[in-house]
Each structure stands twice: as structure tokens, then as C-alpha cells.
Structure 1
Amino acid sequence: MSNYSHISSASGPRNDAEIMIRIRSLSKNFATAWVFFGGQVLICNYSMFKKLKQKWGVGPLQLTLILFTFAVGGSLSGYAGRWLMSQWAPGNRLVYSVLYIICVTLIWPFMVLLVSVPLGQYAFFKKYLGSLFNKLFRRRKIK
């Protein structure tokens, strides 16, 4: 019996090394793929990626590089934030958590730009972060 028998299937339990992809159409414009690999389930919403490609005006390779940059930049932000917080190390857990979130939020744009340079996505992220900051910090006129 496989360790992953909790994943229900009409074909019975899966072996540990088996890779299985199922695509089920929920409607005309929506398809979800389940990838079972070593007991981990990855759910990919293809219409979401299609919408991102259209919104950003990029191809499949550039979309992959952009998503990879987001992932690596976010992870590096977490590691850098943890390192900075270990240098200061406030005793109160609540204070630590709040300061960690603030620290990671402030570090994230720099890490994403740093990772985007070797991946050739600097122009995209410069534009993306510029529009993000404009949306966050624009002044609204009071009538």
C-alpha cells in the first residue's frame, strides 16, 4: 500500500515514483491540472496564467522567468529579514512578528530587482514596481 492512499483515485493507490497529470475541464475557459509527485499535489490554473500573460503582454518563457523571480525574490526577502531580525532580536514575539513583516515588506522590492537582473527581467520589474508604488502612494484629491 502506498503512503499516499489518501489521494483518492478510481485506479487505486499510486506508487511513490508515479507522476500523474489529470486535466479536468470545469468550463470552456477553465482547466485545472493536478500533478501528483511524491505525494505532493500541485494545482495549476491554466486560465490564470493565460490572463497574466495577456495582462503583462509576455510570452510563456518570460512569464516563467517572472514567476521564478517573484518566488526567489520573496524567499530571499524572508531570509534577509530573518537575518536582520536575528541581529536585533526583540524579546517580545508580537513585536518580532510585526517588525519582521515590515522588514520583509521593505526588503522585497530590492530583492526582486536584484534577482531580475541575471534573469533578464529588470525592465519588466522596474515598470511593475513603479506602477505598484504609484498605486500605493499616489495622493488622492479631496473634493
Structure 2
Amino acid sequence: MKKAIFFIGVMVCTVALSQQSNKKTGAMKLNAGIITEKMEETKKFYTEILNFGVSFENEFYILLHTPNGEAQLSFLLPDHPSQKPIFQKPFKGQGMYLTIEVDDVDGLYSELKQKGVAMEIELQNEPWGDRHFAIVDPNGIGIDLVTYTTPEEK
């Protein structure tokens, strides 16, 4: 009985500490933003090729969301007077990639091939467990589309 009470006490303290820790850091949600002059091409690419939706749009900013609404990606015109200098320089087309996990990478690959999308990496399996292919958006951002599988045994 004493062990059960002790165990319950430990569990209550653990839950309380966990909740207190979460209050300190708070929930986080990531929205990557890219500064680009290619707003129309970018919107068309993500909405027509990858089926993203538009969450918000104005003359200098667009917020897109994945088809299931779980992730967002934003684009901002460079040198916009409403933005501070840190958010004004355009992305130069190198040194960035996105990974988008999908349920059916084979189906998406076939769909994009039918749409005539150029493949940077053809559909393939990797020993570490990725089944993936890659395309490039209008800004030069590599997009790795992947379904995770079981890694090969050594």
C-alpha cells in the first residue's frame, strides 16, 4: 500500500513538473518564411503543384498551408517599407531545402510527373529509410518529398 501511494505521489509530481515546464517554454509552431520577388510564381507552384492552400494574402505577403493544414510556409516581398531591415533582403536561391513528409510518395511522384514537374532526384530508396524524390521551387529551394520506411539492416 505504501508503495502504491508513493508511486501515485511520484506520478502527480512528474505531471505537475511537466506542466510547469511546458508553461515556461510554451508551445511552439514553426512557420518558415522566404523573402522573394517571385510571389506569383511561388503561389502558383505551391498551390497548383503541391496542393497547398492560402491562409492569408495581401500585396506583399502570402501565408500558405499544407493540404492537411498542419504546417505553414510564408513568402514576403523584399524591401517592403512595412518590414524591418532584417526582413528585407531577398533569398539568393542557395543553401536551403524543405522536407515534406507524405503518406504516399509513389502516388505523389506519379501525379507530379503527369503534371510535367522536373525532377531533381528521381524516386528512390535510401539505406537510412527514406523513399523520396526531389523537386525545386521557383526560388531555387530544393524540396525533398519523402515517405519514411524501415532502414536497411547492416
User: TM class by shorter-chain length?
Assistant: under 0.3
Using the size of structure 1 for normalisation, the TM-score is: 0.21
| Structure possessing the higher relative contact order (Cα contacts under 8 Å, 6 or more residues apart) | 2
User: Which structure dedicates a bigger proportion of its chain to helix?
Assistant: 1
